[in-house]
Chains A and B, each alone.
Chain A
Amino acid sequence: MVDILGHLWAGILISLHPLNLALVFLGVALGLFIGAMPGLGSVNGVAILLPATFLVPPASAMIFLASIYYGAMYGGAISSITLGIPGASTAVATTFDGRPLALKGRADLALMTAALASFTGGTVANLLFTAFAPPLAHVALSFGSPEIFALMVLAFATFIGLGGDDVPKTVFSICLGLVLAAVGYDEVSGEPRLVFFGITGFMHGINFLVLAIGIYGIGEMLWTIDSSRGKATMTEAKLTVDRMIAAGKETIRRGWKGAAIGSSLGFFVGILPAAGATPGSLMAYGIAKMISRNPKEFGKGHPNGVSAPESANNSASVGAMLPMLTLGIPGSPTTAVLLGGMVIWGLTPGPMLFTQQGDFVWGLIGSFYVSNLVALIVDLSFIPFFIWMLRMPFSILAPTIFCLSVVGGYAATQDMHDVWLMLIFGVGAFFLRKLDYPVAPAVLAVVLGPIAEPTLRQSLMMGSGDPSIFFTRPISGPIMIIAIILILLPAIKIIYDRLSGKKPAAAK
């Protein structure tokens, strides 16, 4: 324990290094803006800006991207409350009570509650993270190929069992991502593989950033252009220091319960690859409403209805970092992009990071604490500025994002072939998303593919071609069994519903 505190202190000192601290401020401010802008969430920001981080050392780049992630969780609430449009999917639940509060003229209370709840969620999750990460990484050090592959299967199984999307479409998305990751060379025989139509650009493989920027830069913008038609009305927030202090007191009195639920629940939901901040915040809202003495007040503007989802989304974003740093399995699309970035910087994600790259890991963990505090301060002091920024018309934001995406897509590999590929992925993702194909599993798969394939092949060689090796080892066995149960969960649910005479869950 003393050990951990020592590492943590050293990590906080690393994150207070002038360059890192400046990046935290910049990242948090950008994150707040990205989170507040409807149509952009943490994953879009991190994917589009990752190529820009090649300028600084990996540890600083990671701190910068993590603070964007953090800031975006704070920022989503701003537009949920003042516009009634969630700034990011993670802030959907915040509109339920945040918007009614704003319409009642209490936007100040809603914004204050969101900021304080986000801070609470982040703090609780940081403490849980610091306590859990080192022992988990220690256990994971003993993992061999079968265990790592089993974990991959488990990660994908959560999408099938818990993702809530159409099952065959989810399976398709996962496999497509894995196949795209296999393009280039077969690492064992060294032969070119899946070089489509003999185009040499495929020989260097498909960089995950090309897919991520395509989907989250270009695809997302097309989606927003197609889906957002009407103009939103902005609610003014009257913000003075006196009012904010009064609102802060009211938040603590009336919103603490929601924050307590959201902070604790969010972390554990965030760990699951398929769940993350969006379902975490919706679940926290649901539970806060369920255990409330007067649930009827929810939806009409109750501080608990704001504090529960806002604390949960921050908590979940930290939770998603736990499997990424300790096991090398990202807990959310955003952490998948971060993981891909780590590979580009030449770091091997997984438990070895804690032993070999202690400064990197603890600097990052220390920065969680620092950026949480910085986000609170920047958020509260610049709320009026962010509300003003929200007036930026989408017809200026969109071309800016498109330019950033095209330049970022080129910078990733410095090959025009990949810029075209990015456009194809972006447009393709838009059309598939319109038909409810989930895109997040594909991004996760393209990041995990280069780890999943060799571990599978090594495991099969260890077992001389017998796949039972995954089930007979003490750690991979239970993981595989849980994964199989998760994969079968949708089928079990259908059978259960049939037996109990209920109709299968009616689709919307």
Chain B
Amino acid sequence: MRRAEIITAGILAVISIYLMWKSAELPIGYTFGEGPGGGFWPFWLSAIMLVATGFIAFNWVRRTSPPSQSSEPYLDDYGKKMIALVAGGLTMFIGLIHFIGFYGAMPLFIIYYVRFLGRHNWPLTIAIAIAAPVFTFFFFDVAMRIVLPKGYLEPLFIPLYHIFL
């Protein structure tokens, strides 16, 4: 936990500096008659962020903040495994949307999660994997007319569009 605290503060400091540099693409000072420039607001906020990370590092050195005193691991083995499996699964889910659309990726994600992470039985898994996309289709595509991306599965939906849209 202690090491994670200072590494995170370091990363956030770098992000703050990047944001300051990026904000400075627009004028950051006060132009008479026009008011503050477009970069003024984000630049100085990022500067405050940088100062805040400085204080976080200072508290780390003095060991006053709880994470800087803690000897517990930032993520234990269980945490690391679960976060990797879940966040990895989500990344795959969103990545697959680009190819097979929401309605291809969603059942795969549900099968992965419910069957392989949750260890539920197949009938339940299949029931959820079918119910979720059907509900989503009727709620978003049909009722709200927010057409979710279908990727390469688009042709399969054309008959459905004819019926419902």
Q: Using CB atoms and an 8 Å cutoff, list the residues of chain A in contact with chain B.
A: 52, 54-55, 166-169, 171-172, 175-176, 178-179, 182, 186, 188-189, 191, 193-194, 196, 218, 221-222, 225-226, 229, 393, 395-396, 398-400, 402-403, 406-407, 410-411, 414, 416, 419-420, 423, 427, 430-432, 434-436, 453, 456-458, 460-461, 464-465, 504, 507-508
- Return chain B residues, CB-CB under 8 Å to A171: 48-49, 52
- A435 touching B113, Cβ below 8 Å: no
Identify which of A175, A406, A435 contacts B67 (C-beta below 8 A). A435
- Return chain A residues, CB-CB under 8 Å to B53: 168, 172
- Return chain A residues, CB-CB under 8 Å to B64: 504, 507
Complex alpha-carbon distance, A52 and B34, angstroms: 41
- B83 touching A166, Cβ below 8 Å: no
- A416 touching B90, Cβ below 8 Å: no
Q: Chain B 4-48, CB within 8 Å of chain A: the 1/0 string?
A: 110010001000000100110110001010111111111001101
Overall SS of chain A's interface: helix
- B128 touching A406, Cβ below 8 Å: no
- B148 touching A407, Cβ below 8 Å: yes
Identify which of A395, A398, A410, A431 contacts B148 (C-beta below 8 A). A410
- Return chain A residues, CB-CB under 8 Å to B25: 193
Complex alpha-carbon distance, A182 and B37, angstroms: 13
Assess A411 versus B117: contact at CB under 8 Å? Given A218-B90, A225-B86: no
Identify which of B26, B30, B106 contacts A403 (C-beta below 8 A). B106
Assess A229 versus B30: contact at CB under 8 Å? Given A393-B118, A411-B144: no
Assess A465 versus B30: contact at CB under 8 Å? Given A176-B49, A225-B83, A507-B66: yes
- Return chain B residues, CB-CB under 8 Å to A430: 83
Complex alpha-carbon distance, A41 and B119, angstroms: 26
- B48 touching A403, Cβ below 8 Å: no
- Return chain A residues, CB-CB under 8 Å to B120: 393, 395-396
Complex alpha-carbon distance, A460 and B34, angstroms: 10
* B22, closest chain A residue (CB): A194
- Return chain A residues, CB-CB under 8 Å to B74: 434-435
- A54 touching B144, Cβ below 8 Å: yes
Q: Closest CB-CB distance, B126 to chain A, in whole Å? A: 13
Apart from A226-B79, A396-B124, A407-B102: 7 A-B pairs, beta carbons within 8 A = A193-B23, A193-B38, A194-B42, A402-B90, A406-B94, A410-B102, A411-B144
* B5, closest chain A residue (CB): A435
- A172 touching B52, Cβ below 8 Å: yes
Question: Lowest 7 A-B CB distances belong to which pairs?
Answer: A395-B118, A186-B38, A168-B55, A399-B113, A461-B35, A172-B52, A168-B52
- Return chain B residues, CB-CB under 8 Å to A191: 26, 38
